């Protein structure tokens, strides 16, 4: 369930300037996790690692796509 929480927290950051400003002050992953918890989101270090891996995979996939022949 925490993966969904992470996505919801990202949406909150995108739409709330106060949370975004506080996120910019985070220096470590632990700070980010504590900030999320403060706003009612339960995320873990694994969520952050998974998101990084997922993003890298998505970038690779989009770059390696073969364009259709015309």
Is the overall model pTM greater than 0.85, yes or no?
no
Domain residue spans in the chain? 2-64
Q: For residues 30 and 24, what is the distance between their CA atoms, to the nearest angstrom?
A: 13
Instruction: Read off the pLDDT of each residue in 30-52 and give the average, rounded to a whole number.
Output: 87
**Residue 62 clears pLDDT 80, i.e. is over it:** no
Task: Answer whether 51's CB lies under 8 Å from 5's CB.
Answer: no
Query: Look-up: residue for tokens 């993966």?
Result: 3
**Residue 47 clears pLDDT 70, i.e. is over it:** yes
Q: For residues 35 and 29, what is the distance between their CA atoms, to the nearest angstrom?
A: 10
Instruction: Read off the pLDDT of each residue in 6-14 and give the average, rounded to a whole number.
Output: 88
What token pair was written down for 10?
């990202």
pLDDT at position 17 is 92
């Amino acid at each position: 369930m925490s993966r969904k929480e992470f996505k919801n927290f990202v949406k909150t950051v995108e739409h709330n300037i106060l949370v975004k400003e506080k996120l910019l002050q985070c220096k470590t992953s632990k700070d980010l996790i504590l900030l999320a918890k403060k706003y009612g989101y339960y995320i873990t270090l694994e969520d952050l690692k998974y998101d990084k891996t997922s993003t890298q995979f998505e970038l690779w996939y989009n770059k390696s796509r073969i364009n259709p022949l015309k």
